[in-house]
Amino acid sequence: METYNNVVLEQLPKHLKRYVVAQQYERYTALDQALWRYVMRQNYSFLKDVAYYPYIPGLKKAGLSIAHIPDLQQMNDSLKLIGWGAVTVDGFIPPAAFMEFQAHRVLVIAADIRQLEHIEYTPAPDIIHESSGHAPIIGEPDYAVYLQYFGEIGTKALSSRKDFELYEAIRHLSILKEHAGTTETELAEAENRLKIVQDNMGEPSEMALLSRLHWWTVEYGLIGSLEDPKIYGAGLLSSIGESASCMQKSVPKLPYDLNTVAYTYDITKPQPQLFVTPDFEHLMDVLNQFADTMAFRVGGKQSLEKAIDCQAVCTIVYSSGLQVSGVFKAANADQSISYIQTVGPTALACSGKQLEGHGINYHREGYGSPVGLLADSNKDLEDFSDEDLTTYGISQGKRCSLRFYSGVEVEGVVLKVVRQAGKVVLISFEDCEVYRNDRREVYFKPEWGVYDMAVGTEIISVFAGAADKDAYESIEEETEKPSVLSYTQIEDSKLLVLHAQIGTLRSGSFDAEHWTAIFGQLDSDTTDHWLALVELYEIAWAHHAYDLAESAERKLLNIITRRPNLKKLIDDGIRVAKEEPLNNH
């Protein structure tokens, strides 16, 4: 993985590096560059008045310019100065991975760029949204702290099977909407699939609720007063359509608070309302209020049951500090936890580092252990000194019997006692039997091998994923090339050639004959030529060739008569060409 001489990227864990792809800057066409330039010029024209932060200084802090698609090396050269980094990925990545990148102060940027027909907005991740939306505001220290902290909280959020189905349905629909060859039938089927999933989500998970807070702040947030808010959300900052329409009075502006988690969102449509925070500190307060309800802070049986509902890898943390990572199965019927059980590969860790010899290959068929106090002791087993252990009969090579308040009994020969940070976290037995209710419930038999008993009075935390992800997960080979085609790989190669010619005209000294030669190849009957004509209009106007600009405008007006839906885009292009002289910002 390319780290661009940025220590932030060099320190990324291996399990995140596998999502990173090479940017392959050379694959961006002149049309791609024109798309970027158009959107960014429109953004600057509008956002300089309604964005929360100074737009151009924000772009420069992130290594971006209006003139060209960002190069990841340039971005990282700038971002590393403020302790951040950026990587390119192949479109959608799982929400948990996205959050974890954010926690590591890394912006995830989709390598592709939207199609011309989706220039105003695309539901699929693209380089315009991810870089021009998220990156410029990173220079605001309070916001950068919030973004990283949100990633840390989001990494721990428990998901559900339904969340995964929804993610896949949205991902599929968004990609189809952005793909040039998608049929109406394919689109309708994907939309119907998404609706079915959305209508059958059931009770929202932690990740679903947290995603709503992310959406209404990081993506679509406003800041200031309800009467005069400013834009800071990346979804708005990168959408030349919605950044303007959202400020209209017809879009309700509500105060941002914890009640915002009740508002769902649709990634494929304009937002029916937006939320306004008075400052970034308030965002932190609301996030902490929500985090206080999450399993990683609450612990206990309720949190374990959330993990069981996930049917995915989660981690529970004993009061001793021992972490058990795996897929958890049904809990006991007691009011509190008496015994935990996993199915399939399981790993034990402390402080996020896997215990030697206790990885998924050793505990490949699952893991189980009691939780709670010993029945005849007023001291937590995790706090036993070596003398306490001996007094209680827990000595290496000797048989002992442990009875818990829950009724669970462990009988076996002690093999080893493991301590971490002064706490007893694990006791291993051989020739061991674990049972309850006079052996009517048997949890472990002697013939199954060594029994490794976790030590801890209670479960104090439960969170998503493995404690030591690099050790737990099977790290695949890093992908060097995107697995999908660039969004703008279209059949009209002539259009790409025309934009390449315009790029040459733009980068050199102004030549009216060269301009006229390109102009003569553009046809107002071919409505996809509108952006090329806007580019020629900009160049002519900037060089005071007003007769040439008028010629381009006449063809643009003809295109509007054929495709009225292009009127705003064309009118805005002409307006910005007149108001904002061409420069590289």
Burial 497-510 (b: 16+ CB within 10 A, else e): ebbebbbebbeeee
HEC sequence for 45-93: HHHHHHECCCHHHHHHHCCCCCCCCCCHHHHHHHHHHHCCEEEEECCCC
Give the pLDDT confidence score for residue 125 in this predicted structure: 76
Give the separation between CA 463 and CA 156, rounded to whole angstroms. Answer: 5
CA atoms within 13 A on the CB side of 548: 24
> For 317-323, what is the mean pLDDT?
98
Indicate the range of 17-21, 344-348, 358-362 predicted with least confidence: 17-21
Give the separation between CA 229 and CA 212, rounded to whole angstroms. Answer: 20
What are the residues facing 324 on neighbouring strands?
A: 316, 348
For 381-437, write each residue's pLDDT tens digit: 999 999 999 999 999 999 999 999 999 999 999 999 999 999 999 999 999 999 998
Q: Is 568 helix (H, G, I), strand (E, B) or coil?
A: helix
Indicate the range of 43-47, 542-546, 573-577 predicted with least confidence: 43-47
Angle (deg, nearest 10), helices 30-50 and 530-542: 70
Q: Starting at the edge strand that comes first in sequence, how are the strands of the sheet with 20-21 ordered? A: 20-21, 85-89, 106-110
* Domain residue spans of the chain: 7-160+205-287, 296-472, 493-579
| For residue 486, pLDDT beyond 50 | no
Indicate the range of 327-341, 375-389, 513-527 predicted with least confidence: 327-341
Encoded tokens for 296: 């990683």
Cα distance from N-terminal residue to C-terminal residue, the chain:
30
Residue 341 DSSP symbol: E
For 71-129, write each residue's pLDDT tens digit: 999 999 999 999 999 999 987 788 889 999 999 999 999 888 888 888 877 767 789 88
Contact 162, 202 (CB under 8 A): yes
Using a pLDDT cut of 70, give the percent of the chain over it: 95
This prediction's pTM: 0.87
Q: What are phi and psi of 265, to 5 degrees?
A: -145, 160
| For residue 479, pLDDT beyond 50 | no
- Confirm whether residue 358 is marked as ligand binding: no
Q: What are phi and psi of 150, to 5 degrees?
A: -60, -40
The CATH T-level fold of domain 7-160+205-287 is Phenylalanine Hydroxylase (1.10.800)
- Confirm whether residue 140 is marked as ligand binding: no
> For 153-167, what is the mean pLDDT?
87
For 12-71, write each residue's pLDDT tens digit: 999 999 999 999 999 999 999 999 999 989 888 888 788 887 777 888 888 998 899 999
- Confirm whether residue 219 is marked as ligand binding: yes
